[in-house]
Each structure stands twice: as structure tokens, then as C-alpha cells.
Structure 1
Amino acid sequence: MGIISKNKIQKSNQERLSDEALLELVQQRTFRYFRDFAEPNSGMARERNRDTFQNVVTTGGSGFGVMAVIVATERKWITRNEAVIRIKQILSFLSGADRYHGAFAHWIDGNTGKTVPFSKKDNGADLVETSFLFQGLLTARQYFTKRNKDEKWIRETITSLWEQVEWQWFTRGRDVLYWHWSPEHQWKMNLKIEGYNEALITYILAAASPQHAISRDVYDSGWARNDSMKNGRTFYDVQLPLGPDFGGPLFFAHFGFAGLDPRGLKDRFADYGKQNLAHVKINYRYCIDNPSGFKGYGKESWGLSACDYKKRYHEQSPLKDNGTICCSAALASMPYTPKESMAALRYFYEELSSKIFGEYGFTDSFNQTHNWHADSYLAINQGITILMIENYRTGLLWNLFMSDPDIKSGLSRLGFRSPWLTK
């Protein structure tokens, strides 16, 4: 009998994992980013694993982190008491952190609660990041429903923070929401939140606010741009209802849908289950077609989204492609394309694990054309991987978020239809 190499033994062990066991392993390992690598004072998610970001926490990534704690509790990776302690720590920090008409900054110093500028003029409110945070917090409000003192405090604190966000104020009296506001620069960034991109959740939360709700006109004129966000063209034999040609980066189909269930979700502009499926299919088929001839693209290696390449963060899509695969792009698409996403997961794990599978799960990205593999982890991409795999497996986060009475009210106000509105 010949000598069997260590690598072959390792690969053999990997191949013995069932689909469920592999999904469990990846989710649990990725959760370490939010459990072990959380910023110690705040409990919030660090932006990324680089020394210059040791105390910089991310608002949107922490919203995903809150939801990941719920997944970990349900899967018995941590106890409910451990989850309560972490969520209380995060809420205590947020209650004392900088806010601007109730909204949070993109980045916050985890020690002081003060805003860390994201860019020169972006040193105040970030409404989209705030919406990703509250997607997580409202999910937690639906999950921590026991009558004990701690869980009651969690619910009451989330409600207090939620009701203080002045969503309507961010319209500037116009029929559109604005992304940023700064005490120093006011509205100088002047970035309208217009569809179609990752920010549908922002408008739904803004309409759901008990105290500061926007009107439907703001949604129709601002977000949907009076039908201008529609596409309707066909790419790779798939008709795309909304958004830019070829769909844009895949995080459009992920970030806002960690809690927002697209299944049967419709308004007069689109069926969002069909929108997301079309978007993912086009991205997948583009990678198979591989018109630029990048090394490694194919049925088992696909997924273009926003991710690291070398020392920069890039937005990858069929129209902006440098050969970099974003690991979370295919993995977070599991609810839409389970067969194709599982093939990518097995390839990433069984063929590339020595290069991209580490302490906190899969690293952010890789580029085989240039023989480059990231050693970085980003909170927002780590988080969405856990959450969308869980929605594929159990629907847990969709079930919690969509059962929130305020969310149902917001969806109804904007003219949405959903099976959740009849429950």
C-alpha cells in the first residue's frame, strides 16, 4: 500500500461531510468573527481584521452581527444567556454613541462611541448603514420575547432607539431620502437614496417608523424614480426586472434581504423573489461565460460583489470585473440558487481551503488570474454569509423580521403584498 499524503487525507475528510454538516461548519466558523473578534468594549463588529481598524466598529456589520447571535443561539453554539449579555452590551454602547437625528454613523470608535469619518465629508449620519443595523435590532426585538428583566430591557431599549430615528427628516422636505448628513458639512454629500440598489430596506424601515414615517410618495418618486428603476431587458436569457444592466454587484440581493423575505414580496414595480433570482442567475451565467477569460471562473467558482482585491475594496459586477471572486457572493445566494451555491461552497472548501478558509471562515475574496488570495475578513460579508445560509436552511431571520408589526405596517403603507401581511 502506498503512502497517502496528508493533503489527500484532509481532502478525503472534507469530502465525507454532508451538505448539512458543511453548511453548519461554515456558519459556525464564520460566527467566530462576531463572537471572538468583536470589539471588546462595545461588543460591536469590527469593520475588518486589520490593525488600523482595531477599535473601528461598523454599524451595518453590527446589525448583521446581532442577527448572527440569534442564529448562534438557535443552533446552540452559545447559550441564550450569553446571547443576552452580548446584545445588552451592544445596546448599552449604542445608547451612548453619537447619533444624528437618531441615525448612526457608518463607523464608530468602539471605545468612545464617537464617529470615525468614513470619508472627508462622511462624518455624520449614514442612513443606509443605520437601516442595516435596525434590520438586525428589530429582528432581535422579535426574538428576545421572554418576560424576564433582561429580555424586557432589550426590547424596550431597541424600541427607544428605533423610535428616535427621524427618517422623515432625511427627506429634506422632498420626495426622496438622502444617504448622509453631517453637523459639519450638512447635506453637502447630496447623495439621494435612489433605486435600484441595496437600499430597499431603508425605505421600508422609513415607512415602518411609528414616529417619523415617510409617505408613499417618497417611495414612488424617490426610490422608484417614477418607474425609472425598472430594467426589463434580458441578459443571458434571463429577464431582469429592476436595476442596472446585468444586475450590479450581488450584495443588492443580500444585504437588505437578511430579514426582508423576498418570497412573494411584490409591489407595482417588481416581484422581489423573481428580481433576486434573476440577478443571481445573470451573475452566475456571466461567470460561466467568462468573456474576459479570467482564470478559475466557472460553475463552481463564481460570484461578483463588493470585496477586497489586494489593498483596496472594489465593487465587482459583470460591468466592473477584474477577475476577483467574492466568497460571500455565491454563499449568500444560497436561498436563490441552492445547487449552484452549494457547488461553489464545496469548491471553495474542498479545493481552496488551505488558501481561503481560516479562523473566521472563508476570507473575503480571491483572484486566481493573479494567484492572489485575501487574508482579510469584512464584517458585512462575514455576516451576510451566516444569515443567508440560515434563511436557506430554516428561514429563521425572515420569520422573525417579517413578523414585526411595524414592518408589516411599513410594507402596507408602501403598497406591498406579501404572504406575511395575511398572517
Structure 2
Amino acid sequence: MLRIKRALLLLCAAAVLAGCAKSGEPSRAVATGKPDAQADEMLERESRASFDFFWQEANTDAGSAGYGLVADRAPGNPGLASVASTGFGLTALPIGAERRWIGHDEAQDRALGTIETLLSRAAKEHGFLYHFLNQADGTRASGSEVSVIDTAIAVNGALVAGVYFGGEVEAKAKQFAEQVEWPWFRDPANNQFYMGYSPEAGFSGHWDFYAEQLMMYILAAGSPTHPADGEMFYAFQRDTRAYGDGEPFIHSWFGSLFTHQFSHAWFDFRGYEDREGVDWWTNSVAASAASRQFAIDQSKAYRTLGPNAWGLTASDSPDGYNGLFGSPPSSLDDAQHRTDGTLAPAGALGSLPFTPEASLASHYMGKPALWGKYGLADAYNEETDPAWVDPDVIGIDKGITLLMIENYRSGRVWDWYMKSEYVQAGAKAIGLAATRRDSHD
């Protein structure tokens, strides 16, 4: 334990000396393939612990209707599964098998059983899953809505597992993906997806502004059974602004950093531009740099924040979950982002492929109080006395951490996902064009 802590402290110091001051500048950062030994030790510890969340917090009763469903969080809310957490969990299985944290056969069995649950037993409408399910039996959790984005994350996980394991897993993954009736969730009046649906109230909200939803358009346009219009990719508002002296980028409504990360966890946007000339990879690099700069600028107001403590994103807080945490630019007038000094490690770690030096230099890596059974706590806040550390970890935060660490270290998740014919068809249908010779076909 002391050796690990010492390595973490040395890593942070080395990263700062190596040029952390420059890491806020947008660059075409790419995964470096193999980090140094100290960095790899730290990344191994956090990624393995994040994987353990998905392995241990899933329903492991093979005889139950909810087999494979992954908890929304732990240890809080026992019995509540998240469809998005389950999608991240499906993606985690090939990572665990490749890194020999678990055996190939047991990972394959878990993947097959989980996809069968999503395909045949989990509550859904027109192929779309409810956001939250009862973990024991896959029924709709009380008050939960049908969610297009959470369904997309579940499909992403199934496709990755299908590509990796092949055979029956791949066949079931395709069946599950092909169940989703994408046009049903589309509002023909504006060519936008609704955000949610409930049998009691019908459809609600629209995906009318940039956020984490790029994956939805790729999957919808690539569906061989129920495709949606590829033009939907261009139907949401793209407000482009800069923070301070940084590069302008297309930002999200609340400025939460996860919105610039989730779709990138699966689709490798490096070397692609859409039909309007947007490079979504460099867009996320710029957004990550802006998030770091905002933390620097706010360091006098919030002692939690600083050059090595950045990445404001939706997370738990001392006052409960807050989806408004973020940094400018936000909304149309910078009025919608919020912070109370709470910081989630998943913010900077989810940007690891975009800003590797700055992400690795984040000093919370060396804070022993943040480390627990499943790695780093979901969030912490040093504005309180005593400092607050979240007693829970949240599945989607462990998921973005695990996937982006793996993409930084090996690029495997990107490679698996980009091999899917479904994904390739979707990218073509929405007009994503390769601009580099080494881009995926």
C-alpha cells in the first residue's frame, strides 16, 4: 500500500514538472499506447477497481429474470439497476477478459446472460429500455422513464461484447440492437429525438442541444431493421463559443464534462469530420482544456479546485446528486452551469485520451481518503469542514473512467466498437468522413 501511495505522489510530481502548464492548450492528443511504469501502476489500480464494480455489483443469480443487470450505484440504492450502468458493464467484460482479471469463459457467460436479459426480459417499449430497472427481475423501477440515451449505451455495450466474444453473444447482441425502433422516439416536427417516454405522460423533452447523444444518431442511422433519418445528427443546436482565451468549441447546456466524453468512450472520432466540418475529437480536447482552465480560475473561490483538480461534471455532492455541475460556456448566456466546489475524479479521468498530461497530474490520485473498494470515490468536496467524501460510487462514472483509461492504454474499446458493421453503417449514413489515412474505414 505504501509503495502504491509513493508511486502516486511521484507520478503527480513528475507530470507537473513535465509540462502540465501546457496541457490546457488544445492539441491533437492521442493515446500514447504504453504509459510509464508509475502511471501504469496507478491506472491499473483504478481501472481494475472500476471493473470490480461491474463484476461484483451485477445480479449474479443466473436463475433470476434480472441476471447481469448492474447496480446504479453502491452501496446506496440497493436493488436498483441502471440500464446505462449495465451497458458500461457489458463493455467492461471484454476489458476484464483481455487483462485476465477474469477468465474468458466466465466473462462470455456473463455477457450472454446479460444480453439475453436485455433482449427478452427487461421492461421496454418498442425496444427502448427503461432508465432504471429492478435489479432482481428487470421490471420497471417505480417512476422510471423510457430513455433513448440509456438504451443507446446498453446497445453500445452489447455490440462491443458481440464483436469481442462472437458466436452466440454476437447473435444475441444483434437481435437486441435490431429490436430498437428508433423512428418511434423521433419527433417528426423537428427531426429530433425525444428525451424520455412514460406510459402515463407520453413523450417528454427533446435532444435539441449538443450533449452526450452523438452515439444515438450513429446507432439509429445504422440500424438494419428500424433506421432513423441520418439528418437527425444535424438537427440539434450547435452553439460554438470559447472560454477565456481558449479555442472555441461546441458546448453543452450545463457544461458538464461527461457530455464531451460518453460517445467518445466507444466511437473513435479521431480523424473524422462530419458533413459540416466538425471534428468532434478536437472539440472534446478543447472542452477538456476549458474545464481545466475554469478550475484554475476558480481556485481562489474554491479550495477544492485548481490546475491539478479539475473536470466539473455531473456527480454526487454533499447535498445529493447534481446534474448541473459544469463549467462555461453553458446554455446561451453562461447561466446554467453550477459548482459548489464538488469534484468528481471521473471528470478528468474521462478526458484522459484528450488531455493525458493534465489528467494524470490530477492530485486527487494521491489522496488516500478517496480510495475505497471500487477505486476512487465518486466525488469529494474540501469546502466543507471536515472535507466531504462521497460514500457511494456511481456506475456510469466508474464506466467512463474504466473505458477511457482502457482507450488511453490500448485503444481496445475503440477498436472493438469500430469493427461493428452496425456502427460503420451508421457513421456513413450521418456523413462522418475520414480525414486521415489511419482512420477506421
Q: TM-score, normalised by structure 1?
A: 0.88
- Report the 3-state secondary structure (helix = DSSP H, G, I; strand = E; otherwise coil) of the residue aligned with 1:194: coil
| Aligned equivalents of 1:244, 1:216: Cα separation in 2 | 21
| Aligned equivalents of 1:56, 1:308: Cα separation in 2 | 17
Change (3 A) 1:235 1:14: closer
Which residue pairs with 2:40 in the alignment?
20
- Report the 3-state secondary structure (helix = DSSP H, G, I; strand = E; otherwise coil) of the residue aligned with 1:275: helix
Change (3 A) 1:8 1:110: closer
Instruction: Please state how far the C-alpha of 1:39 moved relative to its aligned partner.
Output: 2.7
| Aligned equivalents of 1:13, 1:284: Cα separation in 2 | 24
Which residue among 239, 248, 256 is the counterpart of 1:249? 256
Which structure 2 residue ranges, 5 or more long, are not aligned? Answer: 11-36, 62-66, 328-336
Instruction: Please state how far the C-alpha of 1:311 moved relative to its aligned partner.
Output: 4.4
Which structure 1 residue ranges, 5 or more long, are not aligned? Answer: 1-6, 146-151
Which residue pairs with 1:149 in the alignment?
none
Change (3 A) 1:401 1:369: same
1:230/1:269 contact within 8 Å kept: no
| Aligned equivalents of 1:249, 1:157: Cα separation in 2 | 34
Which residue pairs with 1:210 in the alignment?
224
Which residue among 112, 130, 143 is the counterpart of 2:137? 112
Which residue pairs with 1:133 in the alignment?
154
Matched, 1:308 2:316: yes
AA in 2 matched with 1:27 = S
| Aligned equivalents of 1:10, 1:390: Cα separation in 2 | 20
Instruction: Please state how far the C-alpha of 1:15 moved relative to its aligned partner.
Output: 4.6
AA in 1 matched with 2:394 = L
Matched, 1:70 2:94: yes
Aligned counterparts, 1:236-275, within 5 A:
236-244=244-252, 248-267=255-274, 268=276, 270-275=278-283
Q: Deviations over 1:212-271 (max 9, x none)?
A: 1111333323x3xxxx3131x3213222221248x7111012112111112122111511
Q: Deviations over 1:140-159 (max 9, x none)?
A: 111112xxxxxx22111111
Change (3 A) 1:90 1:311: farther
Matched, 1:87 2:95: no
Which residue among 166, 171, 177 is the counterpart of 2:181? 166
- Report the 3-state secondary structure (helix = DSSP H, G, I; strand = E; otherwise coil) of the residue aligned with 2:194: coil
Aligned counterparts, 1:402-421, within 5 A:
402-418=418-434
AA in 2 matched with 1:64 = F
Q: Deviations over 1:110-166 (max 9, x none)?
A: 11211114xx4xx34211100111111111111112xxxxxx221111111111100
Change (3 A) 1:341 1:126: same
Aligned counterparts, 1:37-52, within 5 A:
37-41=57-61, 42-51=67-76
Matched, 1:382 2:398: yes
Q: TM-score, normalised by structure 2?
A: 0.85
State, as a whole percentage, how many aligned pairs show the same letter: 27
- Report the 3-state secondary structure (helix = DSSP H, G, I; strand = E; otherwise coil) of the residue aligned with 1:57: strand
Which residue among 336, 361, 367 is the counterpart of 2:375? 361
| Aligned equivalents of 1:324, 1:82: Cα separation in 2 | 38
Which residue pairs with 1:59 in the alignment?
83
1:108/1:116 contact within 8 Å kept: yes
Which residue pairs with 2:291 in the alignment?
283
Aligned counterparts, 1:172-191, within 5 A:
172-174=187-189, 175-187=191-203, 190-191=204-205
- Report the 3-state secondary structure (helix = DSSP H, G, I; strand = E; otherwise coil) of the residue aligned with 1:38: coil
Which residue pairs with 2:53 in the alignment?
33
RMSD of Structure 2 on Structure 1 (CA)? 2.0
Q: Deviations over 1:349-369 (max 9, x none)?
A: 32x12x110000101001111
Change (3 A) 1:93 1:129: same
AA in 1 matched with 2:174 = T
Instruction: Please state how far the C-alpha of 1:194 moved relative to its aligned partner.
Output: 2.1
RCO higher in structure (CA 8 A, sep ≥6): 2
| Aligned equivalents of 1:157, 1:335: Cα separation in 2 | 31
Instruction: Please state how far the C-alpha of 1:35 moved relative to its aligned partner.
Output: 1.2
1:45/1:58 contact within 8 Å kept: yes
- Report the 3-state secondary structure (helix = DSSP H, G, I; strand = E; otherwise coil) of the residue aligned with 1:181: strand
| Aligned equivalents of 1:10, 1:76: Cα separation in 2 | 21
